[in-house]
Amino acid sequence: MPDLSQITCIEDLRVIAQSRVPRMFYDYADSGAWTEGTYRANEADFHKIKLRQRVAVNMEGRSTRSTMIGQEVAMPVAIAPTGLTGMQHADGEILGARAAKAFGVPFTLSTMSICSLEDIAESTDRHPFWFQLYVMRDREFIERLIERAKAANVSALQLTLDLQILGQRHKDIKNGLTAPPKPTLKNLINLATKPRWCLGMLGTKRRSFGNIVGHAKGVGDLSSLSSWTAEQFDPALSWADVEWIKKLWGGPLILKGIMDVEDARLAASSGADALIVSNHGGRQLDGAPSSIEALPAIAEAVGTEIEVWMDGGIRSGQDVLKARALGARGTLIGRSFLYALGAFGEAGVTRALQIIQKELDITMAFCGRTQIDEVDSSILLPGTF
C-alpha cells in the first residue's frame, strides 16, 4: 500500500487521475452533457449551503454509522454505479468492490462495467454487493442478467430510469470513445504518456463489457457491441416495466434518476425500497437543477414512504452531511470514486473513503452533533438552502 497521507482531499486525487488515465476515459468520467451547466451545478450548489457552527458541546463518542435499506454502513455513502470503470484502472470494478468491502460501505456494479458480475463475486468471496440495471429492448437478456445477479449474491438491484436515450456528451464524440481504445495515431500518442495504465491493461484480460459480451445474443466480439448498445436502450421504458422488474427480482429495489416530486410519488407508490435523487451526474438533461437543489422538495413529498438518497457533486464529507441534513438517508459517490481509482487503484479508493469519513465526522462535531442519525436541517444556516 503506498503512503497516501499527503493526499488530503478528492481534488488531489482528481489531479493525479488526470495525469495517469488516458484522455478519453478521464474525459468520460469528468464531463457532462452539452454545456455541462448541470454537471458544474451539482458541485457548486453544495458550496452555497452554509453550516451552523456550535461550541461548548460534548463531542465525545461520535459515530458516522448508519443504515441504507436496512444494511449497516460505516457512513451513509455507497459507491455509485459507473460505466467503463475498468478503463480508469485495470480491473477497476474489482478493486472498488474490495475497497468498499473492507471499509464497510456498499459497492454498486454497473450493467456497462468492464468486470462482470461473476468477476466481482469471485474476487470478494461472494460478499454482497449491489447491481445497477439498464432496461434493454431484449427482455430475455434482462431476465438472464437478473438471474446472474442473484447467483452472484447481489443484495439490492438499482434500476436506472433516466437513460432511455443517451444525452450528448461532446467530449466523448470528439475523443471517439471506445473500450478498449482504437489504435489511432491520436490515441497511441496519448497512451504513450500513460505507461502505468498501459502496463495494468496488459496484465488483465478484462478490456470490454463483461456483463454483455458473450451473454447477449449477437454480441460475440467488440465490433458488434457499440451498435448493440445503441439499439438496445429502451425509450419505451414505463412504470409497468418497473413493476415487472420488481416481481422478477424479488429483492430490495432502488430507483435511480428521480428529479421531480411527481416522479418521486410514483416511485414511492411502486413499492421500491429507495429512490435516488440524481441527474446522472449532469450527463443527461443539461439545464436540469442540481441534485442537491432538487433533494429537499422530494424528501418532503415522500416522507417516510420510501428511503430517499441522492448522488451528484459529492466531493467531501461536508457534502454528505449537507445532503443528510436536507433529507437524504444515504448518498452515492461516482466521480470521487473514479478519480481515486484512476489515481491509485484500490489504495486510492480506500483513501477517498477515509477522506470523506473524516471530514464528515469532524464537520458533524463542529455542528454540535455526535451521531449521524441525529443530523437534520437545524445544522444548516437558514436562508442558505
The helix or strand, by DSSP H or E, that contains position 117, with its residue range, turns out to be: helix 117-123
- Cβ contacts of 196 within 8 Å, gap of 6 or more: 20
Tell me what pLDDT residue 231 has: 87
The answer, yes or no, to whether residue 221 has pLDDT greater than 80, is no
Tell me what pLDDT residue 220 has: 80
Tell me what pLDDT residue 225 has: 76
Are 38 and 290 a contacting pair, CB within 8 Å?
A: yes
In this predicted model, what pLDDT tens digit does every residue of 290-317 receive, in sequence order?
A: 999 999 999 999 999 999 999 999 999 9
Q: What percent of the chain has pLDDT over 90?
A: 93
Least confident of 30-39, 164-173, 236-245, 262-271: 164-173
Tell me, letter by letter, the H, E, C secondary structure of 212-225: CCCCCCCCCCHHHH
Cα–Cα distance measured from residue 385 to residue 375, given in angstroms and rounded to the nearest whole number: 15
Catalytically annotated residues: 280
Are 308 and 295 a contacting pair, CB within 8 Å?
A: yes
- Average pLDDT over the chain, rounded to an integer: 96
Residue range 8-30: mean pLDDT, rounded: 97
Tell me what pLDDT residue 277 has: 98
101-105: list long-range contacts, CB under 8 Å, 24+ apart: 101/127, 101/129, 102/350, 103/74, 103/350, 103/353, 103/354, 104/72, 104/73, 104/74, 105/73, 105/74, 105/75, 105/77, 105/78, 105/79, 105/353
Please choose, from the candidates 156, 121, 130, 134, the residue with its C-alpha nearest in 3D space to the C-alpha of residue 249. 156
Tell me what pLDDT residue 226 has: 74
Residue 75 DSSP code: S
The answer, yes or no, to whether residue 322 has pLDDT greater than 90, is yes
Query: Which grid cell is 299?
Result: 424528501
The answer, yes or no, to whether residue 7 has pLDDT greater than 90, is yes
Tell me what pLDDT residue 229 has: 82
Cα–Cα distance measured from residue 316 to residue 338, given in angstroms and rounded to the nearest whole number: 14
How would residue 362 be classed by pLDDT, with cut points 50, 70 and 90? Answer: very high
Are 342 and 38 a contacting pair, CB within 8 Å?
A: no
Residue range 134-157: mean pLDDT, rounded: 97
The answer, yes or no, to whether residue 1 has pLDDT greater than 90, is no
Residue range 126-146: mean pLDDT, rounded: 96
